[in-house]
């Protein structure tokens, strides 16, 4: 799967968290001179929105090809290939530093949150917008549970910490933040939805192919689709957010 595919996927994910960003950004009074940093900015799904707030929109990602892809799409953004553990910025550089579906991929999230705290000015804000808890997922009916189990196994093999969501507040506290707020994104389902299956399945297939032969993945897809078409299928992965001010 190339970066164009992942970009579409990341745009979709960014829509799930848009109401939360609208809410928090309003609270923070961000303006045209605000300096904003995204860690793990990927293909740049959130850059356009941040550039609309301020031209001082920075992003770092350790995947160089993704950074180039993002820079081509959003030439005005200030992007660097860098590791979130060692940010190439002086202390207190930003009004807001945030991440979006990043910490689940990080072995030591406390160290990364410490870096975010370091590069954010006193009175500024650090936000983790979306960290899933795959151990707490709800998948029904039965075939979706079987698929969820295999997907979790694959994600774990790929380096994901499956219970990042529930640990988010602990991570912030261990990184030295005083007053931490945390919440969970909600879900909503419509019995008439028919278009989402293929879209979601592309990601599931990408994960399952790492633990199963292709014929088995196709077999599961068929069973899942039959079940989905009967209605009432749910896959819900509780996804948490947290934010704190820098003292």
Residue 83 binds to ligand SAM (criterion: CB under 6 A): yes
Minimum Å distance from CB 131 to ligand SAM? 11
Asked if residue 62 binds ligand SAM (CB under 6 A), the reply is: yes
Q: Distance between terminal CA atoms of the chain?
A: 42
Given 21, 30, 42, 151, the residue binding ligand SAM (CB under 6 A): 42
CB of 218 to ligand SAM, least distance (A): 26
The minimum distance between CB 124 and ligand SAM, in angstroms, equals 19
Instruction: Tell me whether residue 70 or residue 150 sits nearer to ligand SAM (CB atom).
Output: 70
Q: What angle do CA 146, 149, 154 make, to 5 degrees?
A: 125
Q: Exposure pattern of 175-187 as b/e (b: 16+ CB <10 Å)?
A: bebeebebeebee
Cα–Cα distance for residue pair 237/136, rounded to 1 Å: 7
Please check whether residue 125 is in contact with residue 246, taking contact to mean a CB–CB distance below 8 angstroms. Answer: yes
Residue 117 burial (CB count, 10 A)? 19
Max distance between CA atoms of the chain, in angstroms, equals 56
Contact string (CB under 6 A) for ligand SAM, positions 9-28, x = contact? -x--xx--------------
Stretch that binds ligand SAM, among 35-43, 68-76, 162-170, 215-223 (CB under 6 A): 35-43
Q: Which of 72, 25, 23 is nearest to 52 (CA)?
A: 25
Rounded Cα gap, residues 58 and 121, in angstroms: 15
Interface residue with ligand SAM, options 63, 111, 146, 163 (CB under 6 A): 63
Q: Which of 25, 50, 56, 66 binds ligand SAM (CB under 6 A)?
A: 66
Phi, then psi, of 31 in degrees rounded to 5: -145, -175
Structure tokens that stand for 39 in this block:
């860690």
Inter-residue contact 235 to 143 (CB < 8 Å): no
Q: By CB under 6 A, which span of 62-70, 141-149, 181-189, 206-214 interacts with ligand SAM?
A: 62-70
- Find the binding residues for ligand SAM in span 92-151 (CB under 6 A): 100-102, 105-106
- Binding segment (CB under 6 A) for ligand SAM, from list 22-30, 34-42, 141-149, 219-227: 34-42
Cβ atoms within 10 Å, residue 11: 14
Minimum Å gap between C-beta 230 and ligand SAM is 32
Q: How far is the CB of 70 from ligand SAM (least distance, A)?
A: 9
Contact residues for ligand SAM (CB under 6 A)? Answer: 10, 13-14, 40-42, 45-46, 61-63, 66, 83-85, 100-102, 105-106
């Amino acid at each position: 799967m190339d970066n164009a595919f992942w970009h579409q996927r990341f745009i979709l994910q960014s829509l799930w968290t848009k109401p939360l960003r609208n809410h928090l950004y309003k609270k923070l009074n961000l303006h045209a001179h605000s300096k904003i940093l995204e860690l793990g900015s990927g293909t740049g799904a959130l850059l356009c929105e941040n550039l609309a707030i301020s031209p001082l929109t920075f992003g770092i990602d350790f995947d160089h090809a993704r950074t180039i892809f993002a820079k081509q799409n959003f030439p005005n953004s200030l992007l660097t290939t860098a590791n979130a553990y060692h940010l190439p910025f002086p202390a207190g550089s930003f009004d807001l530093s945030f991440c979006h579906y990043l910490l689940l991929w990080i072995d030591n999230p406390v160290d990364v949150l410490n870096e975010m705290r370091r590069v954010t000015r006193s009175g500024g804000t650090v936000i983790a917008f979306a960290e899933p808890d795959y151990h707490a997922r709800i998948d029904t009916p039965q075939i979706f549970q079987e698929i969820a189990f295999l997907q979790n196994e694959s994600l774990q093999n790929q380096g994901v910490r499956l219970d990042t969501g529930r640990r988010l507040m602990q991570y912030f506290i261990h990184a030295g933040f005083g007053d931490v707020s945390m919440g969970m994104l909600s879900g909503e389902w419509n019995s008439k939805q028919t278009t989402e299956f293929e879209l979601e399945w592309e990601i599931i297939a990408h994960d399952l192919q790492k633990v199963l032969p292709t014929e088995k993945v196709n077999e599961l897809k068929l069973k899942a689709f039959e079940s989905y078409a009967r209605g009432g299928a749910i896959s819900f992965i509780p996804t948490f957010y947290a934010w704190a001010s820098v003292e």
